[in-house]
Structure 1
Amino acid sequence: MKKGATSSLFYGIDLGEAVFIQKKEAKVARSTIEQWRMFKAVADFGGFQQAADQVHKSQSTVHHAVSKLEDVLGVKLIEVQGRKTSITPAGEQLLRRINYLLAETERLENVAQNLKQGVESRLTIAVDEAFPKEILYQSLVAVSAEFPLVHMEVIETILTGANELLNKGMADIALSPFTLANELSEDICQLEFIAVCGAEHPLAHKTNVTPEDLKHHRQIVLRDSGVESKTDIGWLGSEQRWTVTHLATSIELIRKNLGFAWLPQRSIAELLQYGMLVPIQLQRGATRSSNFYLNFRDAEVLGPVARSFIGNVRYRSSDPD
């Protein structure tokens, strides 16, 4: 007996035997992803020759891969009777599990390919809530179709918030009603804001409304989501104001006849059409226009995903529809 083996033998296991058992338990998987792909192809396309045609391999290569997989697993996966190829019950059960693994493998390979080509894994866009949603949504859909594995993050902001996130490096692109200081900002579209109230609000039934008339009614104001350089725009002369943080909240309060505000016409077009919101008949200043800008820092460091999004926003902003 070797020195130091006494305690091990006391428990009925020699150290050499323990090492052998440890190695046996630590064996690695012997099947390969490629073998599983060949098996799935046979299952999907109904035979070895059909699978070979689809994966651009010889029939013998596909057959060998599946046979090797069956040997490794010790399970029959496919049965061939004459010209008919069928999947065994064990094969069907394993196929359901392998579909997920193969899909994840494909995703990993695509991510690696994206990294090799310099494709970003994430794109963060800061967008003012007044920016036309249809332009934003259509652009996101187009980019996701082109780069399906890229995570798209949209941060909704008010007034200076979009540019602030861009300046802090928390966003790659900003769609903002303000230009960037000391930078070239691209004028992307112009929005019209219109003074509105609810259909049952007192201002809805009044003509030739003056600023003095407005002062006696509650104004709904959007809070600037920026922290470092908050700003106010537009008329703020009402004696009472409610300040909210989201455009949707402002619209809902006004629809419930709880105040008035200047809102982007494209965002409330349907509510105006059905009479749920009503334009205020101001003597002057009933509408105002605001430019929106496409802002980003350094065009030289933008990746293909960011460039695709910018191109889509430009294209859809130039479309009059």
Structure 2
Amino acid sequence: MKHDQLLAFEAIVLTGTFRQAAERLHKSQSAVSHAIRLLEEELELTLFSRDEYRPRLTAEGEVFYREATRVLGQMRALQATAARLRAREEAELCLAVTATLPLDILLPVLERTGQAYPATHIRLSTEMMGGPIARLMEGAADLAIATLDGVPLEEVETRKIAEVVIRPVAARGLARQLGPGPHPLQEMQALPQIVVAGTGGPDSSQSRDLLPGGRKWTVSDFAAKRQVILAGLGWGGMPEHLIRRDLEAGTLVPLQVEGFPPRRSELFALRRRDQAPGPVAASLWALLTEAGQ
């Protein structure tokens, strides 16, 4: 039994097909099929049923998969340990965070990291919607902070670090025109809902908290969204910490929209399981974990 055979076995289970497993492992499909055939011959077990279009784990395969994932997890931990032992400080550390993150949670962590590793250039990018996880999975970020929406949990470690409240609001004048809530969907559909474009690619547009059948205007970031809403041109959900002063001043007013209550959004630190962190990334991860406790 070899490590690459277990990796091929895991990849087939996670992706659902031999072809996609081969793409994931950057190998030919015939190499993956050969590895599984040798593994089954050695074990004298049939791990996959090939009766359907997609390979399906047999009863024996289910049990073997549970144990294989434990072994692979230990192997990855050993590889990460070895990498840390031979690693030097990273020249650059890239952190991709969702724009809904209150930065006052992150800044003390970055300060401590900068003091401990002054030679490392810390690159912080603020992303929208699926942007943080996209940067992490494409290798453009060492760590990310985002919600778990669309996150491949089998490929990513997570640590909860914060919660934010997303609250529907409108400018004072528009709220006065609407009158007291709750406001039915039919009433709100006639007004532009201001949403933020995602930075994760064509499939990362906002889908959560989107009014069905309503008008929609799209902006690039929360600063622009706030300005458009303050101008009375529409309404939308905003992270509460970004508009606290507006709410206190009364220039923005919370709305009661049918089916759209204020939402509590959980944010997590994320890192890939298949990549060994360097000493700076490992330290930053530990500090983020500590900050979330």
- Asked if residue 274 in structure 1 is aligned to residue 249 in structure 2, the reply is yes
Quick check: 2:113–2:280 contact (8 Å CA) kept in 1?
yes
In 2, Cα distance between the equivalents of 1:187 and 1:255? Answer: 32
Return the alpha-carbon distance in structure 1 between the equivalents of residues 154 and 288 of structure 2: 23
Q: Distance in 2 between matches of 1:148 and 1:204?
A: 53
| Counterpart contact for 1:125–1:154, Cα < 8 Å | yes
Between the aligned partners of 1:250 and 1:151, the Cα distance in structure 2 is: 31
* Distance (Å, rounded) in 2 between the aligned partners of 1:312 and 1:200: 44
Q: In structure 2, how many angstroms separate the alpha carbons of the residues matched to 1:148 and 1:299?
A: 27
Q: State the one-letter code of the partner of 2:132.
A: A
State the secondary structure of the residue aligned to 2:246. helix
Q: Bigger radius of gyration, 1 or 2?
A: 1
Percentage of matched positions with identical amino acids: 23
Contact 2:196/2:220 (8 A) holds in 1 = yes
Residue in structure 1 matched with residue 160 of structure 2 by the alignment: 187
Q: State the shift of 1:313 in Å.
A: 2.3
Secondary structure in structure 2 of the residue aligned to 1:296: strand
Matched position secondary structure for 2:93:
strand
Q: In the alignment, residue 271 of structure 1 is paired with which amino acid?
A: D
Quickly say closer, same or farther: Cα 1:123–1:291, change in 2 above 3 A: same
Counterpart position of 1:292:
267
- Opposite residue 196 of structure 1, the aligned amino acid is V
**Correspondence for 2:142 among 141, 165, 172:** 172
Tell me which amino acid in the other structure corresponds to 2:245: E
In 1: Cα distance, 2:258 partner to 2:192 partner: 19
Structure 2: 5+ residue stretches without partners: 1-85
1:57-108: CA deviation from partner (whole Å, max 9, x where unpaired): xxxxxxxxxxxxxxxxxxxxxxxxxxxxxxxxxxxxxxxxxxxxxxxxxxxx
Once the two structures are TM-superposed, the CA of residue 211 in structure 1 deviates from its matched residue by: 1.5
Does residue 1:129 correspond to 2:103, yes or no? no
- The 1:226–1:239 alpha-carbon spacing in structure 2 relative to 1, beyond 3 Å, is same
CA contact (8 A) 1:214 1:238 kept: no
Question: Do the aligned residues in 2 keep the contact of 1:197 with 1:278 (CA within 8 Å)?
Answer: yes
Which ranges in structure 1 are unaligned for 5 or more consecutive residues? 1-115
1:299 Cα deviation from its structure 2 partner: 7.6
What TM-score do the two structures reach when normalised by structure 1? 0.58
Alignment: residue pair count? 204
Normalising by structure 2, report the TM-score: 0.63
Q: Is the 8 A contact 2:87 2:279 kept in 1?
A: no
Report the Cα distance in structure 1 between the residues aligned to 2:161 and 2:286, rounded to whole angstroms: 11
Moved >6 Å (runs of 4+): none
**What amino acid is aligned across from residue 278 of structure 2 in structure 1?**
G
What value does the CA root-mean-square deviation take over the aligned residues? Answer: 2.3
For 2:280 and 2:111, the matched residues in 1 are separated by 12
For 1:268 and 1:234, how far apart are their aligned partners in 2? 18
Aligned equivalents of 1:314, 1:268: Cα separation in 2: 27
Residue 122 to residue 204, structure 1, CA distance change in 2 (3 Å): farther
2:243 is paired with a residue whose SS is helix
